[in-house]
Amino acid sequence: MMFISEILIYIAVVFGCAQRCNGYTRNEIEKTYPDLGPEIVLFPDENNSPIIGYMKMDNNSRLFGFYEKNIEEEVKFEYFSRDFPNGVPIEHKTDLGKYVNISKPTKCITHGWMSGGRMDSSVRLRDGFLYRHDANILVMDWSAISGNPFYPIPMMATPDVGRHYGTYLNYLVDELGLNPDGIHLVGHSLGAHVSGFAGREVKNGKVGRITGLDPALPGFDMGINPSGTLNQNDAIFVDIIHTCAGFLGYKTPLGHVDIYPNGGGPPQPGCNVLEFIEACSHGRSWKIFASSLFNNKPYIATKCPSFDDLDKKKCSGKQIPVGDATSSDTRGIYYSQVSEADLMYNATNKN
């Protein structure tokens, strides 16, 4: 068993490296808030007031205290479709048989750290899918776990949450006869890895697509989580949108296609509030994807010959749509320019 203190050494290294790896640094925010070290992240609540997330815990704490709880009670599911736009709770996976239409595609959504199934990221993605697709929509809410402000606990819980999520996917495939090719999992931050862990649980076939929206970085790239990360083997097609690369999200490619809006790192356009530059940039990934569902004119990304060319913004290759319309045969690294004006318009208008 690994102690919190051991885990924090790794996470501090990751976050510390991030401060030197991109053009953006935390120098200004740490100068303004001297007590804000690399182990603290600020998130805006619904009133745009800061709430604190901690990358560290008390050194005497045990990481695995969470596992005393019943994961089946902690993780909730809700079903939506055009016939059930307000949602119905799924108390047990067998309830899926009452609502799921196996002739339609299935979209599964989950959130990240300090979020939930009825919070903005999940709601916008859900509403976007309802607008764009006549589909089964399953929202997985693990906020009873992910809402813990001490990041190491939900980070290390992701494999178990993913395995439980996978039992619902297996029920859809094995018991209801749903074609796994028609399943699309979308996850933000820690939820991206949860989606990967869930996808690899499917035994009969492979899920068609997993979209990772700025997959969480801290702890994962140091091998702390034994289950690894979301990767290309978790679905037939894995696409990634990076928006806080090297800080809260991965910078290195993880999917068949990796798209880097505005270069992939913070600050993303519109993320100008000092306290929230990182959290805001991290959230731009799901806003871009949600906007792609509402928008009839897609954002365009351009293929880069290499990762170095991405950093230099020297990309002039094949062009593709960003978000929902990204084709499953797309491969490589792509740069996209997304303005705040486009994002806000697309996120609030369905024209």
List, by residue number, the catalytic residues: 189, 214, 282
Asked if 130 contacts 84 with a C-beta cutoff of 8 angstroms, the reply is no
Cis peptide before 298 (omega within 30 of 0): no
**Helix (H, G, I), strand (E, B), or coil: what is residue 140?**
strand
Task: Return the residue matching tokens 């736009």.
Answer: 85
Parallel/antiparallel/unpaired status of strands 106-110 and 136-141: parallel
Report the distance separating Cα 344 and Cα 199, nearest Å.
Answer: 31
Sequence-ordered alpha helix ranges (H) in 246-336: 277-294, 307-311
Cβ atoms of residues 50 and 94 within 8 Å:
no
Beta strands in the chain (DSSP E): 40-44, 50-54, 76-80, 88-90, 106-110, 136-141, 183-188, 209-213, 237-241, 257-261, 300-304, 319-321, 332-336
CA distance 93 to 26: 44
Kindly write down the DSSP assignment for every residue of 255-281, as one continuous string: SSEEEEETTS-SSPTT---GGGHHHHH
Three-state secondary structure readout of 24-55 = CCCHHHHHHCCCCCCCEEEEECCCCCEEEEEC
Gap between the Cα atoms of 82 and 202, Å rounded? 26
Q: Which residues pair with 72 in a beta bridge?
A: none
